[in-house]
Structure 1
């Protein structure tokens, strides 16, 4: 069986924003979306939007359309058709079958509780048991562990070596596709050349690099922008019920996001149209001005 992924050859810069429809966009989401958009547009590249809707139990009905409406309201217009991960199941199954055929994965029946009792790192308990798929998760055989990588903002990022070398789940016991599998397959399929996203996704990068290498695919470069956190130390997130940004008056949040990203917009820019603000931001975008921090308190 041949590798089922036909990776788009890198001909120009291609970036993406990939929200999950588990809630509406908040200020932290805007920071990540704006940074990825400005990086792409400042390099005359394409900016894509992908809806990561593979975890149906966590979805908020209608959130996908609200997210797209918000991006439009903030002047962040995507260049190609929006990709929904829920429409990618056949490809994900093909990749799982390919990995199984190549003896690069196996079925695992271990529970989180069992793994926690052995120190929290999966030790390959089921690797030689030749289990069938019934009631099992699928784990990747981690032949290419990445204990570090170089980030475009954060510099050299080092991971726990034992965790980086773990055989990680690519298909869950409940039948859902793991985030690591879906994001790698779609980044390859869409020819993403650079991923700009929040520092909450720094750790998954190691596993994504492992999977790219296992599938013999070229990995994108990575840029992780600081997270917006509250004075209690909580990151702004849908899970923490962060308030949605205002679609009817986008200018103040756009200016605040530019300031958060170290771009120093002029004082009177807030009184301009959304289009003018975004155009100014594209023209003056400096990735090097983003604070080299993982978190910034609001």
Structure 2
């Protein structure tokens, strides 16, 4: 197992970056708690970033509700939360850098057309000078990154069927794509380690390609196991997962700690949240987190899914 913070002179910076498409559910709390504990264990900073760059998917008031839920669970962040909706000028600046390197092209293809392409093959738009009207901006990915080491999942190999030759960095509707924004922000905020859910495991390959294009050192990655809903799907806002009950803070934290591989004593079940978190920070060991990408816990399902 690699040393998590090999150079103690470097400041550890982690983050939790939810999208305001709904209130936090138990899977979100697991991701928030895991990233929080890792940052506090390594005596680093823990930042919160609201990834609000997709207005059609956003729910009014969700950003404030997310921050309130974190505070109710005593997951206090460092510095002022960053909102991606306020950083569009920076995203466009970084796209311009990629354009100057000849690493982008305008694309009018549908998802079905892109899915039909052979691996490593660029779509026909890459060879044509097309109008920017109603076009996506796509990144020409020549990095060919086939594997990376994850601090939880260990060696991760790219899925052969993944289309890696190009991916959108700005959508046809003019909105900036997640893959671009997350990399630009992690670089700008000096994120040294990304602790997040395993649903984003294979998105890491796209992001590593952008780090390389920007000439930036990528952070370490640790992808936590996912929480399954009662029907076996990932617990998510899209699957109508129940919102975290802020009246059950102690129980929520206790359950999230257990899910992450900690074994809190029953005496903590009635402790104050700050005492629970102090215990968890001392006991935290990222290497003890279950590797299984989708943990199946019937008790958790009964409490937190519909």
* TM-score normalised by the chain length of structure 2: 0.91
1:28-177 equivalent positions in 2, closer than 5 A: 28-118=27-117, 123-161=122-160, 163=162, 165-177=164-176
Q: What does residue 229 of structure 1 align with? A: 228
Cα deviation, residue 120, structure 1: 8.9
Partner of 2:187: 188
SS of the aligned residue for 2:173 comes to coil
The equivalent of 2:6 in structure 1 is none
Are residue 218 (structure 1) and residue 185 (structure 2) matched? Answer: no
Q: Please, which moves more after superposition, 198-207 or 140-149?
A: 140-149
Q: Distance in 1 between matches of 2:156 and 2:249?
A: 34
User: What's the counterpart of residue 19 of structure 1?
Assistant: 18
Task: State the shift of 1:56 in Å.
Answer: 0.2
Instruction: Give the Å deviation of 1:162.
Output: 5.7
Distance in 2 (alpha carbons) for counterparts of 1:195 and 1:97: 26
Moved over 2 A (4+): 113-124, 160-165
Query: What residue in structure 1 maps to residue 300 of structure 2?
Result: none
The offset of 1:288, in angstroms, is 1.5
Equivalent position SS for 1:86? helix
Moved more, 191-200 or 231-240: 231-240
For the residue of structure 2 that corresponds to 1:139, the secondary structure is strand
Deviation at 1:121, TM superposition (A): 7.8
Residues 106 and 132, structure 2, Cα contact 8 Å, conserved in 1: yes
1:121, 1:163 within 8 Å by CA — same for their partners in 2? Answer: no
Alignment check: 8 A CA contact 1:145 1:207 kept: no
Unaligned runs of 5+ in 2: 1-8, 298-306
Unaligned runs of 5+ in 1: 1-9
How far has the Cα of 1:98 moved from its partner? Answer: 1.4
Q: Cα deviations across residues 156-197 of structure 1 (Å, max 9, x unaligned)?
A: 111124636321111101111010000000000000000000
Question: For residues 241 and 119 of structure 1, do their structure 2 counterparts lie closer, same or farther at Cα, with a shift above 3 Å needed?
Answer: farther
Measure the CA separation in 2 of the matches of 1:236 and 1:160. Answer: 23
Q: Could you say what the CA RMSD is over the residues aligned between the two structures, in angstroms?
A: 1.5
Q: Is the 8 A contact 1:15 1:46 kept in 2?
A: yes
* C-alpha contact 1:51 1:82 (8 A) present in aligned 2: yes
| Distance of 1:121 and 1:212 partners within structure 2 | 19
Moved more, 110-119 or 78-87: 110-119
TM-score by length of 1: 0.94
> Contact conserved, 2:119 with 2:161, CA < 8 A, in 1?
no
Work out the CA distance in 1 between the residues paired with 2:121 and 2:256: 39
Change (3 A) 1:140 1:65: same
